[in-house]
Amino acid sequence: MAATAGFAGGWAARGVSDQPSADVAVPTAAVASASPALGTKGCPKPRAITSIKSNERVVALTFDDGPSAEVTGQILRTLADKKVKATFFMTGEHASAHPDLVAQIAAAGHAIGSHSWNHPRLDKLSPAQVTDQVERATNAVSAAAGTRVCLARPPFGLTTPQVDALSAAMGLTTVGWTQNPKDWLNPTPEQLRHDSAPWSDRPATILLLHEHGAEDPQQVGPSATAAALPGIIDDYLAQGYRFVQVTGEPFGSGRPSL
Ligand SMILES: [Zn+2]
């Protein structure tokens, strides 16, 4: 994988070799301003998680494209009220604009991943461009969260073996989804709740949600998602589901990326 070796550095060297941060070149100002604890702990071995092989009723709620000044607070309050931990995949651009919200998400115990710098199709980019997008985003999100980010979701879920490998070289496990209720088409909260309900034939679920209701992922703002979330959670609880994060079991069975 020559392309991967050519871009080893920063998080990449750390993710692959677990070297202490003092031995690793720091690529951006965002990382330089992060907490001292940042990067002192390596990530688990990178994987590509696209499905869950489990018959257990578990669901991982995932929220993409934030954080959002209009929506994140409401989502966090609902998750706290329901005592549910979720996973947030944030763009570097939005995380840099709202580091306080990233810190709130981290402080509440939710899992955090990066979602590229500004949401291009990674499958259309050169290896150098992919690395730039993923590394800048991961550094920015990590800096704002005050902890090393070990998860990433490619924009639009569009990945390639090369994107997976480049991400893995940065220590990142890539995460897909199993259920997409298309909240970005701005449905009514009632429609979104209906489309998010558990599927009886596929008990283990990674549910894709967003912090906006627009087709343009650059937009953040009011959407059906925050309004529908309490009902979505209630529907899963009513069917005996357990809420999990993609960092925990049963997601440990993803195929190796390297
Ligand atoms: Zn997205």
Distance 22 CA to ligand 1 centre (A): 33
Is 177 part of a structural domain of the chain? Answer: yes
pLDDT in tens, 136-146: 999 999 999 99
Rounded-to-integer distance, Cα 123 and Cα 99, Å: 28
Distance 136 CA to ligand 1 centre (A): 16
Distance 208 CA to ligand 1 centre (A): 10
Is 252 part of a structural domain of the chain? Answer: no
For the chain, what is the domain count?
Answer: 1
Is 32 part of a structural domain of the chain? Answer: no
DSSP track, 189-252: HHHHHHHHSPPTT--SEEEEEES--SSSTT-----HHHHHHHHHHHHHHHTT-EE--TTSTTGG
Distance 219 CA to ligand 1 centre (A): 10
Is 248 part of a structural domain of the chain? Answer: no
- Helix (H) / strand (E) containing 94: helix 92-97
**Which residues make beta-bridge pairs with 59?**
205, 243
pLDDT in tens, 243-257: 988 865 555 544 444
Rounded-to-integer distance, Cα 71 and Cα 178, Å: 23
Mean pLDDT of the chain, nearest integer: 80
Distance 44 CA to ligand 1 centre (A): 24
Residues assigned a catalytic role: 64, 210
pLDDT value at 11 more than 50: no
Q: Which residues surround ligand 1, an ion (CB under 5 A)?
A: 64-65, 155, 217
CATH code of the domain covering residue 98: 3.20.20.370
Range of the domain at 232: 47-243
pLDDT in tens, 40-76: 347 888 888 877 767 788 999 999 999 999 999 999 9
How much is the average pLDDT of 6-12? 27
Note the pTM of the prediction, 2 decimals.
Answer: 0.81
Is 90 part of a structural domain of the chain? Answer: yes
Is 25 part of a structural domain of the chain? Answer: no
CB 153 within 8 A of CB 136: no
Count how many residues are written for the chain. Answer: 258
Q: Is 117 exposed, middle or buried (0-12, 13-18, 19+ CB in 10 A)?
A: buried
pLDDT value at 178 more than 60: yes
Is 18 part of a structural domain of the chain? Answer: no
Is 152 part of a structural domain of the chain? Answer: yes
